[in-house]
């Protein structure tokens, strides 16, 4: 538990550092960010190249269950599934799955609406490519804030009790990199492409094995079996505490 909590804090510190670096570049050397679509694949190695490598490696790690300690994401894998002692009812699993799918669609529509606004601002020259990159890095930081402190999607839409049972946990990188859609570059589109692959993989497994995503059919998601304990840091609202994941 302590190890997982410490890892979350380390991730938050790293993402704060990344955000600080990109904001500093934006303030001091904005042309460097404006020219990101023309970055050479080979040549002078920069901090942006290093950031791309770190992000790509972190996404690739999700294909290896043994390297993902957070059950919120790892629950999709067969190796992490724990059948409950008492057999679950298929009807309740179906009801839970339908409810969460509907909530997930709402989240997707809200997020795509936000990205569409960014795209509109970009296409009309109000926001440049460097602004979209800055937005993506901001979302990168906000993702960890949602895990540790407070998540608006959990609170207002999904109503899940914690990150372990989150229906859209593996959507994080898709949401982070979605603003990069409007910046045609090997680096931007490769990150977004990998993020979409991860999201589609998650959705395929959810459709094929919904029992892995409900605590009523997966004992690994019970509080007593949780190894992440993110909820001990996050200040959950009364609404979330009273959410029915049963």
Neighbours of 88 (CB within 10 A): 17
C-alpha 59, offset from chain centre: 10
Per-residue pLDDT for 231 more than 90?
no
Per-residue pLDDT for 129 more than 60?
yes
Residue 30 pLDDT:
84
- What percentage of the chain carries pLDDT values higher than 70? 85
69 confidence band (pLDDT: 50, 70, 90): low
Find out whether 160 and 166 touch, Cβ atoms under 8 Å. Answer: yes
Half-sphere exposure of 43 (CA within 13 A, CB side): 6
Q: Which of 53, 28, 29, 57 is nearest to 41 (CA)?
A: 53
Find out whether 164 and 221 touch, Cβ atoms under 8 Å. Answer: yes
Section 119-146 average pLDDT: 95
Per-residue pLDDT for 219 more than 80?
yes
Distance CA 152, CA 239 (A): 12
Residue 37 pLDDT:
63
77-123, pLDDT tens digit by residue? 999 999 999 999 999 999 999 999 999 999 999 999 999 999 999 99
Residue 243 pLDDT:
47
Record the pTM.
0.91
Section 224-234 average pLDDT: 73
Neighbours of 209 (CB within 10 A): 16
Residue 108 pLDDT:
98
Residue 44 pLDDT:
74
Q: Where are the alpha helices (DSSP H) in the chain?
A: 2-28, 30-34, 47-60, 71-74, 90-123, 129-148, 152-153, 172-177, 186-208, 238-241
Distance CA 70, CA 77 (A): 12
Residue 228 pLDDT:
67
Per-residue pLDDT for 180 more than 90?
yes
Residue 1 pLDDT:
47
Find out whether 157 and 102 touch, Cβ atoms under 8 Å. Answer: no
138-171, pLDDT tens digit by residue? 999 999 999 999 999 999 999 998 999 999 999 9
Residue 199 pLDDT:
98
Residue 5 pLDDT:
55
**Domain coordinates in residue numbering, the chain:** 2-241
H-run or E-run covering 109: helix 90-123
Residue 89 pLDDT:
97
21-64, pLDDT tens digit by residue? 999 999 998 887 876 766 666 667 778 888 999 999 999 998 88
């Amino acid at each position: 538990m302590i190890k997982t909590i410490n890892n979350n804090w380390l991730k938050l510190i790293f993402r704060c550092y990344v955000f600080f670096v990109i904001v500093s570049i934006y303030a001091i050397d904005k042309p460097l960010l404006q020219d990101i679509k023309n970055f050479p694949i080979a040549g002078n190695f920069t901090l942006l190249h290093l950031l791309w490598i770190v992000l790509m490696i972190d996404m690739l790690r999700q294909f290896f269950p043994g390297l993902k300690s957070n059950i919120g994401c790892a629950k999709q894998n067969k190796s992490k599934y724990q059948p409950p002692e008492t057999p679950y009812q298929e009807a309740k699993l179906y009801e839970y799955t339908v409810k969460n799918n509907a909530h997930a669609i709402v989240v997707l529509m809200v997020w795509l609406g936000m990205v569409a606004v960014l795209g509109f601002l970009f296409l009309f020259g109000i926001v440049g490519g460097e602004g979209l990159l800055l937005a993506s890095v901001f979302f990168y930081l906000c993702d960890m804030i949602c895990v540790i402190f407070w998540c608006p999607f959990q609170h207002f839409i999904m109503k899940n009790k914690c990150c372990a049972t989150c229906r859209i946990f593996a959507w994080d990188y898709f949401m982070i990199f979605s603003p990069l859609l409007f910046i045609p570059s090997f680096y931007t589109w490769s990150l977004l492409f990998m993020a979409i692959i991860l999201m589609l993989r998650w959705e395929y497994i959810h459709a094929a094995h919904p029992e892995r995503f409900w605590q009523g059919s997966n004992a690994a998601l019970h509080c007593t079996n949780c190894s992440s304990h993110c909820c001990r840091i996050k200040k959950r609202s009364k609404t979330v505490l009273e959410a029915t994941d049963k």
